[in-house]
Structure 1
Amino acid sequence: LSDRASDNKVLVLDTWGFEAPSTKAAIAALSNLGVEGRSLVVLDRDDKNAWKSFSNLPQVHVISAGELNAYDVLVSDWVIFTQATLPTTAQKEDS
């Protein structure tokens, strides 16, 4: 994760803000962020619209913060968190 951060390839968003599931909106959001290549999107399990929006994209792997692991980070060009997933990740690292 620190390797991706040193390359400025870790993003933290307030929220995705999808009002309804939309693959088109997910593609646009990633494009607006300048994200290209394989992306690891770390989501809160309750963010159903984001899960559904990203699940059809072949270059995007979606996981919950509790599932975050070194392999998924290493095979991804980008790692994208929301504010809701950061505390869970920090707590996991402290354990």
Structure 2
Amino acid sequence: MKLQVHSAQGSSTGREVELPENIFGVEPNEHAVYLAVKAYLAAQRQGTHKAKERGEIAGSTKKLHRQKGTGGSRKGDIKNPLFRSGGRIFGPRPRNYDIKLNKKVRQAAKASALSTKAGEGKLMIVEDLSFEAPKTKDYQNFLTAVGASEGKVLLITADNAPNVYRSSRNLPHSHVMSAGEVNTYELMKASTVIVAEGAIEKLKEQFA
């Protein structure tokens, strides 16, 4: 697959870049994408939830009244979960929600996401972008110039580009990530994926 390379001003450079078929031209594996998105969202959970159970409540352990003869139910002590301020029955405990995925599954999911965007015409190649200083207006002008000012936009850079990233932070529907940190969830969420020319080589290294 070949795509035209656009400049930062939105015009065509007259050059085309050959995209590797094993990354941008595979048959999408929907199940791999589902697993990758599920693992990503699970990893966002802190898992620090905690509720005190009966054995952790401060209170007397004295039996409230005798077992029989009162006409009342058997209650045990004041820490009974049926009482107000009692312990919680089967309350949440701290846990790790991480889901382990094999490397091949992660690669298949990412290639499926990139191939889906390429097949739908939502993938764009631009020259490597750099700003002298962080400026939201410059980044907004760049998106307008390349025709990506609508919807959610993901820009994939070759390496960390602090000024480009900071220029995009104030735009709610724009996200900048390096090729090393881009994930399937962000790819699928984006309406338009812009790949810097230098990021293609970085992606090739991941699939080598």
Q: What TM-score range do you get, normalising by the shorter chain?
A: 0.7 to 0.9
- Determine which of 25, 30, 42 is the counterpart of 2:156: 42
- Superposition TM-score, scaled by structure 1 size: 0.86
Give distance in 2, aligned partners of 1:78 and 1:85.
Answer: 16
The structure richer in strand per residue is 1
- Determine which of 9, 25, 28 is the counterpart of 2:141: 28
Structure 2 portions without partners, runs of 5+: 1-113
Write the deviation string for residues 7-30 of structure 1: whole angstroms up to 9, x where unpaired: 221111112232221101111110
Give distance in 2, aligned partners of 1:69 and 1:29.
Answer: 23
Tell me, yes or no, if structure 1 residue 13 matches structure 2 residue 151: no
Structure 1 portions without partners, runs of 5+: none
Give distance in 2, aligned partners of 1:85 and 1:55.
Answer: 20
% same residue: 33
Conservation of the 8 A alpha-carbon contact between 2:164 and 2:176: no
Q: Which amino acid aligns with 1:13?
A: V
The structure richer in helix per residue is 1
Larger radius of gyration: 2
Structure 1 ranges of 4+ moved more than 3 A: none
Equivalent pairs, count = 93
Give the Å deviation of 1:71: 1.1
